[in-house]
Amino acid sequence: MSTFQELGLNEDLLKGITDLGFVKPSEVQQKAIPLLLEGEDKDLVALAQTGTGKTAAFGFPMLQKIDIASRTTQGLILSPTRELCLQITNELKAYGKHCKGLNVVAIYGGSSISDQARAVKRGAQIIVATPGRMKDMISRNMVDISKIQYSVLDEADEMLNMGFKEDITDILSHTPDDKSTWLFSATMPKEVATIAKKFMYDPTEITVGNKNESTSNVTHEYYLVNARDRYQALKRLADANPDIFSVIFCRTKRDTQKVAENLIEDGYSAGALHGDLSQNQRDLVMKSFRNNQIQMLVATDVAARGIDVDDITHVINYQLPDEIETYTHRSGRTGRAGKTGVSMVIVSKSEVRKIKSIERIIKKSFDKKEIPSGSDIVEVQLMSLANKIHTTETNHEIDKHLESINELFADTEKDELIKKFFSVEFNRFFNYYQKSKDLGVVDSRGSDREGRDYSKQSNDARYFINVGSKDGFDWMKLKDFLKEQLELGRDDVFKVDVKESFSFFNTEKGLQEKVLAFFTDFKHDGRYVNVEVSEDKGRSRGGRNGGRRNERRSSGGSRKRDDKPRGDRRSSGGRRSEGGSYGKRSDRSDRRSNSRDDRRPAESSSASGSDRPRRSRRRD
């Protein structure tokens, strides 16, 4: 069967399908839909990878089977996260766009429970819920699921991974025994089999592809590095892929936040997604990611479950997951909707044997690759820029100035002109990588600290300033503030590190006099702002570790901070994401100018102040 008509769907749904532009049912849809539409109601276990169209595989049959004329809740879909919950709800609404009177309601935590109860009361034929909130509403008598005829456990393996087993058991005990249960899962660990046995009667099992197998559109690569080079390796992988649009997985919320912050500070458009952020912050980050304003989304496994973005080019395993099975879910975030994707793993020597275990699970082998060298990256970036220039539509506003420009370059050969032109965009990037060492582990003597490839360090001046987050600054605000006050250029202030009551920042040494002179008698909000040169010469690079050491310089309060060094970091990161947690281009990041799309008007990094319009745009 190769059309939706042939699967037996009704006219209203077929109209919806046409509107959506679905042409051909996917494999899991071809297998599940006719089966579920058959007169006799059956239980079903369907195993299929992410991105294979499972929502429609249960959504269409459910929409066709329920009685839309009735206001009784007849269908219940449980799904692991709020993101997925909303996504399924929206999909079902789109599928059923022509089904008059259809009411699908999403129920999930972090949003008003009484609003959701009210929406249900208005008559929801289908409820899509996360287990936690669902259980809560049942216990408060806010929903009635005693007439459910169809229940779906979507992403069952994920729900069980997340510890929802008891909630699910509890919820299902409030539904009639004679309902049908449809279980959808990407993998089939033991717990899923147990659930299936417990709640289902003689289920039909369908499998698309091999059980637990990774999507075939995804290639798997691993990179062996010294554990301490992990972050540098990550940056290089990103730099070697100028059009990267990726999810980066870390093991803990802390690492997630830290890696995202470091990336942002290093000028990448990155954002963090983890459970310590408020719902609002997570929504903002996801929105920016969807709009391609964030190129690198750093996420925990749990938080990433709801990510439904189809055009992710790379998944980067910054650290391997604790449960090796989780790798399948991670890599399944790329290579969706018929596209190809790459799943990269950064491993240290001690973890490399895990690669073998993963290969057994995904039934595919990994390519062992070397972290790109500085010169590889420079080449990639140059060519990417050349390519971008080549395909850029000419702006004819320039025509009227052409004569004067030509005059200026009258004696410049074409090759020379090209080199000059590229140098404008490229020098900082080039300098950064010029002196860098390779990151492979083989190089046991050479790879003394990655941080050393920071060519500018000796030329920097580091300052202490007695304003911090309690004065309303985050690093972006402070950077803007300094630039404005000192009338400096876009890249003149860098490595801004905001603590609670004080901060650090760097400029080129040449600006030191100007900075100190300006702040000799300067008041902000009625109090004197004091800036002095930081004396900590031991810092390998301004920023993180060095910053923490520097904290001791300040009197009072620093002890507390030392007790919980992450606390302020996390909260400042959180606040930051509310205001746009994504990287503003700072030093070294000119390469971002040839990033993903043409939608960002302020891409040209040579235009001074170009980050301002971008950032304010992002804030809205």
How do 531-533 and 460-465 pair as beta strands?
A: antiparallel
Q: Whose Cβ is closer to ligand ADP: residue 126's or residue 260's?
A: 126
Q: Whose Cβ is closer to ligand ADP: residue 25's or residue 267's?
A: 25
Distance of alpha carbon 192 from alpha carbon 198, whole angstroms: 10
- What is the C-alpha radius of gyration for the chain, rounded to an integer number of angstroms? 27
Helix (H) or strand (E) holding 181: strand 180-185
Q: Whose Cβ is closer to ligand ADP: residue 17's or residue 439's?
A: 17
Residue 25, binding choice from ligand ADP, Mg ion, none, Cβ under 5 to 8 Å by partner class = ligand ADP
Residue 26, binding choice from ligand ADP, Mg ion, none, Cβ under 5 to 8 Å by partner class = ligand ADP
CB of 590 to ligand ADP, least distance (A): 34
- Please work out, in degrees rounded to the nearest 5, the angle formed at the alpha carbon of residue 604 by the alpha carbons of 599 and 610: 95
CB of 307 to ligand ADP, least distance (A): 10
Region of 51 on the Ramachandran plot (φ > 0 left; ψ -120 to 50 alpha; else beta): left
CB of 171 to ligand ADP, least distance (A): 21
Q: Whose Cβ is closer to ligand ADP: residue 33's or residue 378's?
A: 33
Residue 271, binding choice from Mg ion, ligand ADP, none, Cβ under 5 to 8 Å by partner class = none
Q: Whose Cβ is closer to ligand ADP: residue 52's or residue 181's?
A: 52
Distance of alpha carbon 252 from alpha carbon 237, whole angstroms: 21
Q: Whose Cβ is closer to ligand ADP: residue 187's or residue 257's?
A: 187
Please report, as ranges, the residues that interact with ligand ADP according to CB under 6 A. Answer: 22, 24-26, 29, 48, 50-56, 308, 310, 337
Q: Bridge-partner residues for 532, per DSSP?
A: 464
Examine residue 82 and tell whether it contacts Mg ion (CB under 5 A). no
**Tokens 């801004």 appear where?**
496
**Which residues, 37 to 76, sit near Mg ion by CB under 5 A?**
54
Residue 56, binding choice from Mg ion, ligand ADP, none, Cβ under 5 to 8 Å by partner class = ligand ADP
CA distances (Å), 320 to each of 112, 198, 384, in order?
36, 32, 30
For 10-29, give the DSSP string: -HHHHHHHHHHT--S--HHH
Q: Which two tokens stand for residue 69?
A: 């004329």
Residue 52, binding choice from ligand ADP, Mg ion, none, Cβ under 5 to 8 Å by partner class = ligand ADP
Indicate the residue type of 563. D
Q: Whose Cβ is closer to Mg ion: residue 53's or residue 547's?
A: 53
Residue 418, binding choice from Mg ion, ligand ADP, none, Cβ under 5 to 8 Å by partner class = none
Q: Whose Cβ is closer to ligand ADP: residue 4's or residue 505's?
A: 4
CB atoms within 10 A of CB 607: 12
**Tokens 């942002």 appear where?**
264
Q: Whose Cβ is closer to ligand ADP: residue 54's or residue 584's?
A: 54
CB of 338 to ligand ADP, least distance (A): 8
CA distances (Å), 445 to each of 438, 441, 561, in order?
11, 10, 36
Helix (H) or strand (E) holding 569: helix 565-578
CB of 249 to ligand ADP, least distance (A): 17
Count the site residues for Mg ion by CB under 5 A.
1
Residue 422, binding choice from Mg ion, ligand ADP, none, Cβ under 5 to 8 Å by partner class = none
Q: Whose Cβ is closer to ligand ADP: residue 185's or residue 550's?
A: 185
Cβ distance 593 to 605 under 8 Å? Answer: yes
CB of 297 to ligand ADP, least distance (A): 17
CB of 302 to Mg ion, least distance (A): 16
Helix (H) or strand (E) holding 369: strand 367-369
Residue 546, binding choice from ligand ADP, Mg ion, none, Cβ under 5 to 8 Å by partner class = none
CB of 172 to Mg ion, least distance (A): 20
Cβ distance 341 to 307 under 8 Å? Answer: no
Look up residue 225 and give its DSSP letter.
B
Phi first, then psi: give them for residue 447, nearest 5 degrees. Answer: -85, 55
CB of 152 to ligand ADP, least distance (A): 11
CB of 525 to Mg ion, least distance (A): 50
Task: State the residues that interact with Mg ion by CB under 5 A.
Answer: 54
